[in-house]
Structure 1
Amino acid sequence: MKRNQIFIKSGTEYKKMTKELLAESELADMIGDRSLRIGIKPNMVSASAPSNGATTHTEIIAGILEYLKENGFRNMMILEGSWVGDRTSDVYKVCGYQQICDDYDVVFHDTQKDKSFSKDCKGLQLKICDSVKDIDFLINVPVLKGHCQTKITCALKNMKGLIPNSEKRHFHSMGLHKPIAHLNTGIHQDFIVIDNICGDLDFEDGGNPVVMNRILTAVDPVLVDAYVCDMLHYDVSEVPYVGLAERLGVGCSDISKADIRVCGENLQVNVPKRQKVVELADAVEAVDSCSACYGYLIPALDMLKQDGLLEKLREKICIGQGYRGKTGELGVGHCTRNFKCHLEGCPPTEQQIYEFLKEYITK
């Protein structure tokens, strides 16, 4: 597979599709040495079933493992860490990864429990989980979905699961885009298998899955993320980490140079333009908010909107690390604990936020 290529396959037999797509991509030849240690990095953001639109389908992971074993590879591991606020061990069970590891006799490494090392990522010193050093060839398996802070999340942002929780919080204090781009100079993903089966195109934590029944493969994470931007009706400039990663030498964001190949039946996918997050975010004043906290707030606001209550909210909701030690009227999360009205939690759940704001609006 060439660096400018993106392969796409449609259907509902996900494990079979994955194996066929990897064969088309000539992955075994790309890896070469059968003794190499291969790391498989899914998206296990939270304890939410893949059908909910947030986490990587285990059928895809099974397809990757079967393909590798059938081609003589034996040294594989799955590594991932959930977002701050969830435990990877819970996701491991809920999303079927325990069964996958048992069935294929593969080690699972929880990066939330990992030690870390500091690395100069082209001018930005970042902490990376130790397990990354044990990998010779990294297969990234992100979910193609929306994100309430960065608009899209796919190949580049999925590397965030390979840093410790303390660094994840630090990323948000730096504004997400810059550290995401720099992280991809410090962690090299060698091959990408994208779960485009039913990602939520609004929220990274799922809840509104959009069935598309596709799997993609690629080599260049910048190019494929630029392709995702275009698919979801965003200009690359609206997702700054994509262009910044290009300028740092991670890849190419010019999709006019992409060789996009449909393997098998060409099923047209028309993606509606999504503006839900943009509309809901008008009610929020976020300063350095972590993904989990913000990611639970936005769906809670959507619930309030459906109830006809959000339009009655007259006060902006403050959220994020930037409010530590400060005072104000209305805040969500532990960082706003000095506010007059605040909901404790790091993070509070979507339902807790909904109930808190519903009471605040109706009292």
Structure 2
Amino acid sequence: MTRISISECQSYNIKDVQNAVNCCLDNLGGISSFIKPESRVLIKPNVLIAKAPKEAATTHPIIIEAIINSVKSAGAVPIVGDSPGGPVGNLERYWKATGIREVCNRLDIEIVNFESAGVYKKKLNGNHYYISKQVLDADFIINVPKIKTHGLTVFTCAIKNMYGVVPGLKKTEYHKEAPKPSDFSKLVVDIFSLSKPRLNIVDGIIGMEGMGPSAGNPKELGMILVSTDAIALDSYICHILGKDPMKVPITKIAYEKGLGEADINRIEIMGHKPEVMKDFKWPPNLASSLDMIPSSIAKGLMKFYWSRPAIDSDLCTNCKTCVKSCPVEALSNGVYIPEFDYPECINCLCCAEMCPEKAVYLEKSVLTKLFSRSD
């Protein structure tokens, strides 16, 4: 039976977090049962965007600090690395904004650059994938995601976090190659299976609900979770947040491929057992809402059934991050705010994901508003 170790943790105080991480690891045999002395251990956080920890869009730096301390206690060599979600530009600003640079400087830990290290080209299921050499050359990978919703994939945590092992703008190219949520989810699962994290430590103290992964709202969840099985983690977390794991395409695909456990009855919980939350806010699931339209009239109505990104002019600062992030160049520089070329837009929501001001929102047709559901 798959095991998940959970500790209750209500704050990002380093003593509280360290105790919670140590407790979770001890329940699973201790950190030394996973890593060998002198091994090079890559700690892979979620550094999606250059935002402060209080925004809850990235893995909190205190979680990283606690894991670094644990890895050092086993006599191993921790390094930290990730590739942000959009145009990279100055990587240093991501590490500084998220607070991870301060932690790594203070503890004398190297932050590795996925972009400059080169890549290994891997082929899987007929597709070619480019994975950073820093990832595949590491002796051991600790995947450190944050619990968040996702406008395109519904949920992002342990499986989706490994999408960041793809360097630079190649990530946005994959969005272009797989614009449908189901196709993109298959691609994410492929990349996860190639990157092979061996331990997953989830930042679930404060997650994100609503329009994640960067434009949602912080949500107090009060827990840290650890498991060797990323699929089990994602499944169980969805369960306690009130979502059927099989309604999350990435989780369903990974489970069906045999990459991990998704049957809640076959997952053993060690330590803290959180109650199911009934007030967690999920993003609109437009794909499932299509099932509500009778097939006999669906074709005639589809031209009136749409949802697309739009920009709030009151929030937009015209920084043009969305223009640079768009994988299909469906955004261009406008006089006051960027302008969409909607026939070219593939609804990948990279613009919403990367907007530092949360100025991008989902604009819906009247028909979509009538039939859209959040479950």
User: What's the TM-score once normalised by structure 2's chain length?
Assistant: 0.74
Aligned partner of residue 219 in structure 2, secondary structure: coil
Aligned residue runs from structure 1 range 185-334, under 5 A: 185-202=193-210, 203-263=212-272, 268=275, 270-278=277-285, 285-286=307-308, 300=312
Residue 299 of structure 2 is matched in structure 1 by none
Structure that is richer in strand per residue:
2
Residue 5 of structure 1 is matched in structure 2 by 3
Aligned residue runs from structure 1 range 1-363, under 5 A: 4-11=2-9, 12=11, 13-73=16-76, 75-85=77-87, 87-173=90-176, 174=178, 175=180, 176-202=184-210, 203-263=212-272, 268=275, 270-278=277-285, 285-286=307-308, 300=312, 349=355, 351=357, 353=359
Aligned partner of residue 162 in structure 2, secondary structure: helix
The residue type equivalent to 1:84 in the other structure is: G
- Which is worse superposed, 155-164 or 232-241? 232-241
- Once residues 63 and 97 of structure 2 are traced to their aligned partners in structure 1, the CA distance between those partners, rounded to angstroms, is 16
1:351 positional shift: 4.5
User: Is the CA contact (8 Å cut-off) linking 1:152 and 1:239 kept in structure 2?
Assistant: yes
1:70 positional shift: 2.0
- Once residues 104 and 263 of structure 2 are traced to their aligned partners in structure 1, the CA distance between those partners, rounded to angstroms, is 38
Aligned partner of residue 218 in structure 2, secondary structure: coil
Residue 321 of structure 2 is matched in structure 1 by none
1:172 positional shift: 1.3
User: Is the CA contact (8 Å cut-off) linking 1:200 and 1:208 kept in structure 2?
Assistant: yes
Distance 1:245 1:346, change over 3 A: closer
- Once residues 222 and 333 of structure 1 are traced to their aligned partners in structure 2, the CA distance between those partners, rounded to angstroms, is 39
1:349 positional shift: 3.6
- Once residues 31 and 141 of structure 2 are traced to their aligned partners in structure 1, the CA distance between those partners, rounded to angstroms, is 13
Aligned partner of residue 103 in structure 1, secondary structure: helix
Corresponding residue pairs, total: 317
Aligned partner of residue 42 in structure 2, secondary structure: strand
Tell me the alpha carbon deviations over residues 167-206 of structure 1, each in whole angstroms, 9 at most, x when there is no partner. Answer: 2113212142010111122110100000001111221115
1:207 positional shift: 4.8
- Once residues 235 and 160 of structure 2 are traced to their aligned partners in structure 1, the CA distance between those partners, rounded to angstroms, is 12
Aligned partner of residue 211 in structure 1, secondary structure: strand
Distance 1:93 1:150, change over 3 A: same
1:98 positional shift: 1.4
- Once residues 241 and 65 of structure 1 are traced to their aligned partners in structure 2, the CA distance between those partners, rounded to angstroms, is 29
- Once residues 98 and 190 of structure 2 are traced to their aligned partners in structure 1, the CA distance between those partners, rounded to angstroms, is 30
- Once residues 172 and 225 of structure 2 are traced to their aligned partners in structure 1, the CA distance between those partners, rounded to angstroms, is 30
Distance 1:211 1:39, change over 3 A: same
Aligned partner of residue 55 in structure 1, secondary structure: coil
Aligned partner of residue 200 in structure 1, secondary structure: strand
User: Is the CA contact (8 Å cut-off) linking 2:121 and 2:130 kept in structure 1?
Assistant: yes
User: Is the CA contact (8 Å cut-off) linking 1:6 and 1:224 kept in structure 2?
Assistant: yes
Distance 1:17 1:353, change over 3 A: closer
1:233 positional shift: 2.5
Alignment root-mean-square deviation, CA: 3.6
Tell me the alpha carbon deviations over residues 197-233 of structure 1, each in whole angstroms, 9 at most, x when there is no partner. Answer: 1111221115510112210001111111111222233
Unaligned runs of 5+ in 1: 287-293, 305-318, 326-330, 340-344, 358-363
The residue type equivalent to 2:187 in the other structure is: P
User: Is the CA contact (8 Å cut-off) linking 2:142 and 2:199 kept in structure 1?
Assistant: yes
Aligned partner of residue 179 in structure 1, secondary structure: helix
Structure that is richer in helix per residue:
1
User: What's the TM-score once normalised by structure 1's chain length?
Assistant: 0.76
- Once residues 138 and 335 of structure 1 are traced to their aligned partners in structure 2, the CA distance between those partners, rounded to angstroms, is 40
1:276 positional shift: 4.8
The residue type equivalent to 2:79 in the other structure is: M
What percentage of residue pairs aligned between the two structures are identical?
23
Aligned partner of residue 193 in structure 1, secondary structure: strand
- Once residues 67 and 88 of structure 1 are traced to their aligned partners in structure 2, the CA distance between those partners, rounded to angstroms, is 26
Aligned partner of residue 246 in structure 1, secondary structure: helix
- Once residues 233 and 307 of structure 2 are traced to their aligned partners in structure 1, the CA distance between those partners, rounded to angstroms, is 31
Aligned partner of residue 68 in structure 2, secondary structure: helix
The residue type equivalent to 2:279 in the other structure is: P
User: Is the CA contact (8 Å cut-off) linking 2:239 and 2:276 kept in structure 1?
Assistant: no
User: Is the CA contact (8 Å cut-off) linking 2:154 and 2:285 kept in structure 1?
Assistant: no
